[in-house]
Structure 1
Amino acid sequence: MTESAHRPGPRSRPARDLLALTAVVAVVLAAISLVVASHASASSSPTRTLNVTGSGTVTGAPDTVTFQLGVTTVRNQATEALKVNNLRVKSLERALLAQGATKKNLQTSNFNIYQMTDQNGNLTGFNVSDTLEVTMHNIAKAGGAIDAAVAAVGNGVSFNGVSFSQSDQSRALASARTKAMKAAHAAAASLARAGDVTLGAPLKIVDQENQSSPAPYPFFPGAFATSGAATQTRLLPGTQSVTVRVSVTYQVNA
């Protein structure tokens, strides 16, 4: 037998293609294994965070006042008590409107009719009460409106306190929010320096608004000016603070 008879012949084309495909598959599998291993390694290192809080306060003058004026009438008959009280309430409304209040800012906040009895349970009469909540955007006129209402109704009037507010708080809230974020960032930067880490971007921000109102204006009997009195009732609005608190979570890097 000759030497050429034992020499392997050239491989067929399908065999060469199969070997090439096997090599490609092996490379792809190796790459996939590397990606999975890298992802697993990254997942095992959780994001490091730093949580801080900050607050910002802006103080301004209120421009709106809200108070309640009530009218009470006691009569032997319910119909008579209701009729008289309704007339008094109309007088109250006219007095308020004449002093700068508007109808859209007059709202009934309470209305009651109840029987009055003695200690033995015997009917002695009927009590009718009607309370209006009044909102005025000109605080300087509020005292005169109260005086006029008392003069119109007389001894049947009652006053249930007063509160002040700002009709538009959008600017104050925006300014307070900016101050709160600056305070939070300053605190985070200080902690990051102390902890020898690098402060990253904020990951989460929680905004909380908190308005602190001034104390209600107290009512003292005889504080209202009566007809012919030289002094008009004054309502002092003082100032009002708007506070925003934020909680911020920052990413930190070693």
Structure 2
Amino acid sequence: MSSYFTKNIGAMVLLPVATVLILAGCVPNNTSSDANNLEQSIRVSGTGTTYAIPDVLSFTLVITREGDTVAPLKVAVDEVTANVLATLSQANIDKDDIRSYAVQAQPLYDYSDDRSKPRIRGYAVTRSIEVTMRDPSAYDQVLDQSLATGVSAIQSANYRVSDPSKYYAEALQLAIDDARGKAEILAASGDVTLGKIIRISEHSSAPQPAFRMESMRAASADVSMPGQSDIQAQIEVVFQIN
């Protein structure tokens, strides 16, 4: 706990201060008032933490087919894509939350003969579909159905909170309460009373929570469950003392 506590005591402190104010008459009155307030103040830090559960899940479905020629491979990828889009629609995933990328084709090389240049042994045709789920509880069902339609892989699964600012606002309030509690303890120990807030500053950045991906096995099926993320706010508060 970092804190700062000061109070003027006796004439030996007040007299030099008064002399300085007379000699520095050109200094604006609000500056001297602010300085006096800071001299009779308690400065404390405060920390607040809230715990957010993600309500949005993003992932990428990858469809890949390999063969001798590109054209029939593209047809196969397009067929799987149509089935996947139908599956996602049945899962009540909005079209705006689905992004299907153009097909990509690349040659596959055979490096088995070290004495000659690699030869093309076929082609791989791939399409990626990015999906955002507003109801992560249905993820396992969508996962199973997507794999059944011919999806080759699921990549980049990430949980996030749709409105992290709400949790950060709660953390800020907790940080203020924490700072006030510390200041009250210090004021009581110094036989003074706590006054209004003179200055408050925020030391934490905007919330960008990252969530731990956790997997739990149930008795009947595999269930993917998001972890929780700590959203923390840190502030410094200066209280006037009386």
State the TM-score, normalizing by the size of structure 1. 0.65
| Structure 1 segment 1-254 matched on structure 2, within 5 A | 37=23, 39=25, 46=35, 47-48=38-39, 52-108=44-100, 112-119=104-111, 120-153=117-150, 156-191=151-186, 201-206=197-202, 207-217=204-214, 233-238=222-227, 240-250=228-238
Work out whether residues 215 and 223 of structure 2, in 8 Å CA contact, stay in contact via their aligned partners in 1: no
Q: Which amino acid aligns with 2:223?
A: R
The alpha-carbon deviation at position 195 of structure 1 amounts to: 6.9
Structure 2 CA distance for partners of 1:100 and 1:130, relative to 1, 3 Å:
same
Q: Given the superposition, is the C-alpha separation of residues 177 and 111 from structure 1 closer, same or farther in structure 2, using an over 3 Å criterion?
A: farther
- Note the aligned Cα RMSD (angstroms): 3.6
Describe the shift of the 1:171–1:202 C-alpha distance in structure 2 as closer, same or farther (beyond 3 A).
same
**Structure of higher CA gyration radius:** 1
Shift, 1:110, TM fit: 8.6
Q: Is the 8 A contact 2:165 2:207 kept in 1?
A: no
- With 59-68 and 125-134 compared, the bigger mean Cα shift is at 59-68
SS at match of 1:208: coil
Displacement of 1:179 in angstroms is: 0.3
Alpha-carbon offset, residue 71 of structure 1? 0.8
Question: What residue number does 1:27 align with?
Answer: none
Q: How far off its partner does 1:37 sit?
A: 4.0
Task: Give the 3-state SS of the residue equivalent to 2:225 in structure 1.
Answer: coil
Distance 1:203 1:191 in 2: 17
Deviation per CA, 1:37-76, whole angstroms, max 9, x where unpaired?
4625877895447654322222243332222221111122
Please tell me the residue identity of whatever aligns with 1:39: G
* In 2, Cα distance between equivalents of 1:134 and 1:106: 5
Give me the TM-score of the superposition, normalised by structure 2.
0.67
Residue of structure 1 in register with 2:15 after alignment = none
Hey, what's the Cα distance between the residues in 2 that align with 1:194 and 1:211? 38
Distance 1:248 1:213, change over 3 A: same
Q: Which residue of 2 aligns with 1:226?
A: none
Change (3 A) 1:213 1:110: farther
Percentage of pairs with the same residue: 20
8 Å contact from structure 1 (residues 210, 242) kept in 2: no
Q: Partners of 1:169 and 1:201 in 2: how far apart?
A: 27
User: CA 1:187/1:193 → structure 2, altered by over 3 Å: closer, same or farther?
Assistant: same
